[in-house]
Amino acid sequence: MPVRKITMRYPVCGHTALSGWWIETDAVPKTGYGAIGAAVRQITDPVIVVGVQDEPGVVQDGAVTIGNDAAPNRPHASSRYPLFAFLPPLHPKDLGDPVFKTAHGLKYPYIVGAMANGITSVAMVEAAGKAGMVGFFGAAGLAPEDIESAISRLHVHQKKFPVGFNLIYSPNEPELEAATVGLYLKHGVRRISASAYMDMTLPLVYYRVKGLHRLAGGDIISPNQVIAKVSRVEVARKFFAPPPERLLSQLVEKHMISREEASLARFIPMAEDLTAEADSGGHTDNRPAISLLPTMLAVRADSQKKYSYQRPLCVGLAGGIATPESAAAAFSMGAAYVLTGSVNQACMEAGTSDAVRMMLAEAGQADVTMAPAADMFEMGVKVQVLKRGTMFALRAAKLYDLYCAHDSLDTLPQAQKEILERDFFRIRLAEVWAMTRRYFSGRDPEQIERAEKDPKHKMALVFRWYLGQSSGWANSGDPSRKIDYQIWCGPAIGAFNEWVKGSFLEKTENRTVVGIAMNILYGAAVVMRLNWLKSHGIALPPDMTALSPQPVSYLSNILQQDL
């Protein structure tokens, strides 16, 4: 049957109608682009764009016929209208990959990332979990007793909603990594975010494999879930592969796992879920999201084909997720979920200071830079931090330059020592070493033994004192040390601040993790519907597509649910 074309000239663009009709019910089309824009924002209802004489009209109810050569046979011409576009409902809970959401018991494909030193706090994890998302407590940089305290506080919620904890790669402190895994297994922590890893480690494999068993029907049950955060292809392939045989053998030899667990481990990946980490705060390779995500999706497809896992692998995206547009882009490219970090640090639940929240609220996209990382200082690894309002990045870079150029504290030029003691440390280097020695005596005595034999390592530990203290000064809001604040932050914070300008979220006291998350997810659904509308040849004026953040009460009404 030939397709009937109906052409209507709209004020914004020329458009050829679909071959179809809307059949009038009790609803009456509302005309004008304002009406269409309002309908698109009602994301739980369909949008039907029709021609009403010389104007576009919109309805959200009634019957639609597509592919007819002629209009339906109705007695009155007013009972039928040419169809220009049809948009189905798109609730935020329908975004992302259902495999990922089902596996972790989530309503929304949204992770609140694990910002270190407890910045992603117990309160933040609780808020995310209650709202149908998942948060990962920022355990990196904390002492085992602090991590155990957080576990105790969150343990009561594990049967109510999903919770997670961070496990960071610790090549300089392997005993700390092992101790953290020991705590997680002891207390039944079933979900971790593995971050900054460059290779698989014995503690990480131990966590993943411990407790593996097979059901009577043959399915392998993995009680401990790993969500990896990765920016390099070679590391992604390791996480999507089964645990390394050499590490499994070591675990069996040490009687840490059984031979049965080692045998079953050959049929599971190290991580079934992997976050492609683009240009983000903290540890990052500054990769562009638009090329990183498709690359990781290709690695996923290759790994799934190679190993034929019983549960499909999933890839999410982090780094740059701060606005509806960035989240919509991630989901449109195939992300199973999105992960946020920098924007959460500006929330009231974050384990940081009001001073930091204010500094983040004033940051622009270019107000970030790279600086040496405290935990991998000697390896030359860097983290992305805020540079506006602080001299931390410059001073940290100076310390690394001195470390590379000299063999010990004793060989530093006297003038340089005086600058370090006066401006950087504000105490004598000998006092810094005394405090550092006490710290590592309880945390990792091997570091002290090594430093006493290797003056260059001793210098590294002293310099790391400044790098480690700087994040603590920021979290506590020490006013005397504001110029030394280390604030992990990516360029996403600038995009976020630009988006919320003039809205209620511009003020830091109104920023909550759920309020931000739901505005990003709701906005992503609206952006995707607007893009679908464009694919039908209907482009709304820019002033009608702008998305301003809305209070949670408004979103609850739109989504027809409590938030």
**145-156, pLDDT tens digit by residue?**
999 999 999 988
**pLDDT value for 82:** 86
Query: Where does the pLDDT of residue 68 fall: very low under 50, low under 70, confident under 90, or very high at 90 and above?
Result: low
Is pLDDT above 80 for 448? Answer: yes
- What is the spatial distance between Cα 420 and Cα 405, in angstroms, rounded to a whole number? 15
- Looking at residue 1, its pLDDT comes to 32
pLDDT higher than 60, residue 77: no
Give the pLDDT band (50/70/90) at residue 18: low
**Average pLDDT of span 313-321:** 97
Only one residue has tokens 């003038």, namely 415
pLDDT reported for residue 4: 32
Pairing of strands 225-230, 314-318: unpaired
| pLDDT tens digits, 473-511 | 999 999 999 999 999 999 999 999 999 999 999 999 999
pLDDT confidence band for 562 (50 / 70 / 90): low
Q: What is the pLDDT of residue 19?
A: 65
The 10s digit of each residue's pLDDT in 512-559 is 999 999 999 999 999 999 999 998 888 888 888 889 999 999 999 888
Between 426 and 540, residue with greater pLDDT: 426
- Which pLDDT belongs to residue 538? 87
Least confident of 65-74, 200-209, 391-400, 450-459: 65-74
pLDDT at 307 over 80: yes
Residues 6+ apart with CB under 8 A from 222: 208, 211, 212, 268, 272
Q: What pLDDT shows up at residue 302?
A: 98
**Residue 72 has what pLDDT?**
53
Judged by average pLDDT, the poorest of 3-7, 94-98, 192-196, 352-356 is 3-7
Percent of the chain with pLDDT over 70: 94
Rounded CA-CA distance 96/100 in Å is 8
Q: What is the pLDDT of residue 546?
A: 86
Give residue 266's pLDDT. Answer: 96
pLDDT of residue 69: 55
Task: Count how many residues are written for the chain.
Answer: 563
Domain regions of the chain by residue span? 7-90+524-559, 93-344, 361-484
Residue 70 has what pLDDT?
Answer: 52
Which pLDDT value is given to residue 417?
Answer: 96
**Residue 277's pLDDT is what?**
97
- Of the CA atoms within 13 Å of residue 263, those in its CB half-sphere come to 5
pLDDT of the residue at 540: 87
Write down the pLDDT at residue 9. Answer: 42
- Span 318-334, average pLDDT: 97
User: For 272-292, what is each residue's pLDDT tens digit?
Assistant: 999 999 999 989 999 999 999
Q: In this model, does residue 80 exceed pLDDT 80?
A: no
Is residue 27 predicted with pLDDT exceeding 80? no
Name the residue among 343, 339, 364 with its Cα closest to residue 352: 343
- Please tell me the distance from the alpha carbon of residue 128 to that of residue 361, in angstroms, as a whole number: 21
> What number of helices (H) and strands (E) belong to the chain?
21, 21
Does 15 have pLDDT greater than 70?
no
The CATH superfamily assigned to 93-344 is Aldolase class I (3.20.20.70)
User: Within 10 A of 149 (CB to CB), how many other CB atoms are there?
Assistant: 14
Q: Which residue has the higher pLDDT, 42 or 14?
A: 42
When mean pLDDT is compared across 155-169, 219-233, 309-323, 463-477, the lowest value belongs to 155-169
What single-letter amino acid sits at 501?
K
Asked which of 33-37, 244-248, 268-272, 522-526 is least confident by mean pLDDT, the reply is 33-37
Q: Which of 62-71, 160-169, 440-449, 545-554 bottoms out in mean pLDDT, i.e. has the lowest? A: 62-71
Conformational region of residue 63, where left means phi above 0, alpha means psi within -120 to 50, and beta covers everything else: beta
Q: How far apart are CA 506 and CA 373, in angstroms?
A: 30
Task: Answer yes or no: is pLDDT of 7 > 60.
Answer: no
pLDDT of residue 32: 87
User: HSE (CB half, 13 Å, CA atoms) of 112?
Assistant: 40
Q: Residue 231's pLDDT band (boundaries 50, 70, 90)?
A: very high
Average pLDDT along the chain: 92
**Number of C-alpha atoms within 13 angstroms, CB side, residue 389?**
18
Mean pLDDT across 332-351: 96
Running DSSP on this structure, what letter comes out for residue 140?
Answer: T
Look at the pTM and tell me if it is higher than 0.85: yes
Q: Mean per-residue pLDDT for 73-88?
A: 72
Closest CA to 485 of 377, 305, 352, 319: 352
Going by pLDDT thresholds of 50, 70 and 90, the confidence category of residue 294 is very high
Q: What ranges in 242-353 are assigned the alpha helix state H?
A: 245-253, 259-265, 289-307, 324-332, 342-345
Strand, helix or coil for residue 20: strand
Mean pLDDT of 194-204: 96
Question: Which three-class secondary structure state does DSSP give residue 378?
Answer: helix
